[in-house]
Amino acid sequence: MSAFGCHLPLLATSRLHGGCCSELISLQRCFLLTTGCNRVRAGQTIRPVMVAAQQAPATPQLRICRGQDLKAEELHSVLARPRIDFESILQTVEPIVQAVKHNGDTAVKQFTEKFDHVKLETVCAPIEDFPDPQLPAETVTAFQTAFDNIHAFHEAQLKNPLSVETMPGVNCSRVTRPIGAVGIYVPGGTAVLPSSALMLSVPAGIAGCKTIVLATPPRPDGTVTPEVLWCAKRAGVTHILTAGGAQAVAAMAWGTETCPKVHKILGPGNQYVTAAKMALQNSEAMISMDMPAGPSEVLVIADAAASAAHVAADLLSQAEHGPDSQVVLLALPGVDLDEVERQVSEQCAALPRMEVAAQALSHSSIISVSGRDEAIKLTNLYAPEHLIVNVEDAEDWLPELDNAGSVFLGRWTPESVGDYASGTNHVLPTYGFARMYSGVSLESFQKSMTVQTLSKEGLKRLGPTVAHMADLEGLTAHQRAVTLRLQALA
């Protein structure tokens, strides 16, 4: 019998917390353990992972049935993410976007006071107006190491112009240019993320963007987080927008009295930030965005030799991001699930963000799989933001892994290294968008132009083909633009 030969009903409720600066979409669902074992009796319940006495959501038990393979819709339910109701969120965001469009800095100040309870004196200012922050030497060293690695990896992505002579006298090329003005969003709220400042501003600087506006929510006293400011100054940011949420995105998209208008907005953020980016991309603001995104997530594939402590730590490293994060473990045969359970429970109970992680675990899952083929199939179906392959000979799995934002291979590659300092970018597609989107890279801050140059000989060779095709399509002016030149060469 397949390891997925059981019906897995899910129990779910959702509650949306309002406010455009700190959001939570919390879904109560089971932390499930499916074994697919022939010894599992019909109606048998599996003990869920319990997270100490302070666990935030109640954890319902999940009935596991033995039987035929999961149908497609059942498998979809098992791997479903916490739902984000973008329709209602867009309705909340749209008045903010329009208010900033018409009232500029005044609207940004009003919404910042309303949602963040901070009165701003200045909305946006050139970065040289901010004093250099004083940080501990250890912090500066860590940031500099991360900067160097991120810079090295993204600088290596610079490409030489492509030039091809498609036929004698016909030269086609592709050249790259920086996007002139970009906005980068660095979240605040429940966690300070200077790493995101580096991940976004370093490639923007390498690409040659002339205007780089960094938006980040203010601290309670109205100042910018010193760690974020240090990273922004080090990486070449030109302006700091001291605001978060939809109002910050709108300020960068429309431009205000103090904030330059940008052409593209990139960076992680809550669903209000994402909704604002989506709304403005389809507006007169004429901006583009990096990718749609949802809550953080990780999928871990582990074999029998994987350390249960490491597996649990990897799962919790994403669960602590937010209550709407999701983590999934695909356990190959031989994995000690009881020990993984114990490690998750003990490690979660010791986390400062225990309650946040516990809520994320309530809609996360452990799934036993029969082998490599099933693990790869489920991984590509789920398309995780982060994928950890904690198995022997992990590199051998890579050719079959198609859908993931960033992949971490082997026993000694925790997802945390990519979040901070390995050099790859941590701004990645979530919510299954890894099926069709890539993470942020140097190209995210660039645009390309194609160029063609024809000699007289080239036009003589290619012209008749083009004239004939234009005639077939009934576009006479297109045809004459060629034939008049051919006549001049006769």
Lowest mean pLDDT among 196-210, 361-375, 428-442: 361-375
Question: pTM of the full predicted structure?
Answer: 0.85
Instruction: Give CA–CA dist 486/490, Å, rounded.
Output: 6
Q: What is the pLDDT of residue 479?
A: 98
* Distant-in-sequence, close-in-space partners of 133: CB < 8 Å, separation ≥ 6: 226, 227, 229, 230, 233
Strand extents, DSSP E, 162-236: 162-167, 170-178, 181-185, 211-215
Owner of token pair 């489920």? 378
pLDDT digit string, tens, across residues 265-279: 999 988 899 999 999
Q: What is the pLDDT of residue 51?
A: 42
Q: Is 25 helix (H, G, I), strand (E, B) or coil?
A: strand
- What is the amino acid identity at position 212? I
Helices 245-254/86-103 angle, 10° precision: 50
17/128: higher pLDDT: 128
Q: Is the pLDDT of residue 63 over 80?
A: no
Q: What is the pLDDT of residue 43?
A: 26
Other C-beta atoms lying within 10 Å of the C-beta of residue 442: 21
Is 419 exposed, middle or buried, given 0-12, 13-18 or 19+ CB atoms closer than 10 A? buried
Closest CA to 199 of 23, 392, 7, 439: 439
Radius of gyration of the chain (CA): 26
For residue 367, name the pLDDT band (cuts at 50, 70, 90): confident
pLDDT digit string, tens, across residues 127-178: 999 999 999 999 999 999 999 999 999 999 999 999 999 999 999 999 999 9
pLDDT digit string, tens, across residues 425-458: 999 999 999 999 999 999 999 999 999 999 999 9
Q: Indicate the average pLDDT of the chain.
A: 86
Annotated catalytic residues are 385-386
Beta bridge partners of 215: 185, 241
Is 44 exposed, middle or buried, given 0-12, 13-18 or 19+ CB atoms closer than 10 A? middle
For residue 189, name the pLDDT band (cuts at 50, 70, 90): low
Instruction: Give CA–CA dist 180/212, Å, rounded.
Output: 9
Q: Is the pLDDT of residue 188 over 90?
A: no
pLDDT digit string, tens, across residues 276-322: 999 999 999 999 999 988 889 999 999 999 999 999 999 999 999 98
Q: What is the pLDDT of residue 468?
A: 98
Closest CA to 251 of 234, 273, 271: 273
What percent of the chain is modeled with pLDDT above 70? 84
